[in-house]
Structure 1
Amino acid sequence: MDLAFSHTQSQRVLKQRNMLLVACLVLAALAAILGIAAGSRDREVVLQPVLRTPLTLSSSGVSREYLEAVTRDAAVLTLNRTPQSLDYWMNAILEMVHPSAYGEVKADLLKIMEDQRGSSIAQFFTMESLKVDTEGLSSEVSGVLHTMVGRQEVSAVQKTFHYGWVYNGLSLKLVQFGMVEKVEPKKAVSS
């Protein structure tokens, strides 16, 4: 009788162990499925309304409105400078730059700082148009670049500037910017 009772008790413990194992496997599979679903789902961050409409960021890509807002801010930052604000100007631009372009951009900015430090030359940009390409992650701003010496404006020239971006996760970083050179059409030679 003790043997039969002991056998029945062992069978019940084994059955409980097997049910617990099945429950653990089901829970582990469910956790894995939920983890994969959470990892592959697009993330969104709602930004406070600093413009006329609220902006959202998504890991699936950059929205047109967000690229416009970032380009507008980048243009204001990169194209407006005075000798007194050069250190802030360079550091603020470098915070926007992607690590892959950091060295090249910093070298270009240091050349500008070297040329402008100690002078009374300042520049500001009045934006007239803005074009963005969300697929190619690029943007162009056009407007008038004003150059001042002291308090006197010495030039006001129509210019277009190009900005190239890279988007990783939820981070939009600058990889290139510069003036767009207009290519003059070649005149046909008549004989």
Structure 2
Amino acid sequence: MKLDWLRADIASARRASALLVLLLACSMLANVTLAAFAMHMAGRERVVVVPPSINKTFWVESERVSAEYLEQMAYFLLQLTLNVTPQSIDHQSRVLLQYAAPASYGELRSVLATAAERVKRDGASTVFSAQDLAVDERTQRVGVRGLLTTFISDRRVSEVSKGYAIELQYAGGRIFLKAFRETSPNDPLEIQAQSQLRLAPAAGTGR
């Protein structure tokens, strides 16, 4: 009888050992899977494609967004581009480039690098105060007029009226910056200039 009990204990110990080996193998497989997943995801990041704060409702379509969304994005991009110091301009430029349209990335990076070099060389800080903003929902453009104030060593050295046109593009569920350029403060969206260009051929044919 004791021999039977001994044999039963040995069989039970073997079953327990086999179960432990199986659990250990499953644990090792899970660890390898998690390690492979971590290596696969290394270096990836999620890019935020909306302004940090949203205070108006807006709509989106397949290739367009509403005027309210364009307005909020314009204010956000203006802050990144024009409210800068020698210490902040590099970081703000990197954030801005996350929104750059692929076709415009190289040009925007070059312009931002030149601006950063000038700001750091002069030790200058700039602050832009928007006064008027116009949105062209059809072309997904925003025109802004305001005052650009420049400081050097806490001393205000200039305050001039400036106009800027911001061209945006909505594609694949993302908003992209196509262009950010200085324009006339009297015509930030260059509506008058475009009207003159359209009228020029007609004026020529009448002579």
Normalised to the residue count of structure 1, the TM-score between the two structures is 0.65
| Cα distance in 2, alignment partners of residues 51 and 110 from structure 1 | 29
Tell me what 1:80 maps to.
83
Offset at residue 101 of structure 1 (A): 0.4
| Cα distance in 2, alignment partners of residues 71 and 182 from structure 1 | 16
Q: 1:119 to 1:49 in 2, by over 3 A?
A: closer
Q: 1:155 to 1:49 in 2, by over 3 A?
A: closer
| Cα distance in 2, alignment partners of residues 105 and 48 from structure 1 | 19
Whether 2:119 is the aligned partner of 1:100: answer: no
Residues 64, 169 of structure 2: 8 Å contact kept: no
Whose strand proportion is higher, 1 or 2? Answer: 1
What percentage of residue pairs aligned between the two structures are identical? 29
Tell me what 2:151 maps to.
148
Residues 80, 93 of structure 2: 8 Å contact kept: no
| Cα distance in 2, alignment partners of residues 182 and 65 from structure 1 | 22
Name the count of aligned residue pairs. 137
- RMSD over equivalenced CA pairs, Å: 2.3
Whether 2:77 is the aligned partner of 1:58: answer: no
Tell me what 1:170 maps to.
173
Aligned residue for 1:81, secondary structure, equals coil
Aligned residue for 1:55, secondary structure, equals coil
Residues 64, 140 of structure 2: 8 Å contact kept: no
Q: 1:137 to 1:82 in 2, by over 3 A?
A: same
| Cα distance in 1, alignment partners of residues 142 and 162 from structure 2 | 14
Offset at residue 152 of structure 1 (A): 1.1
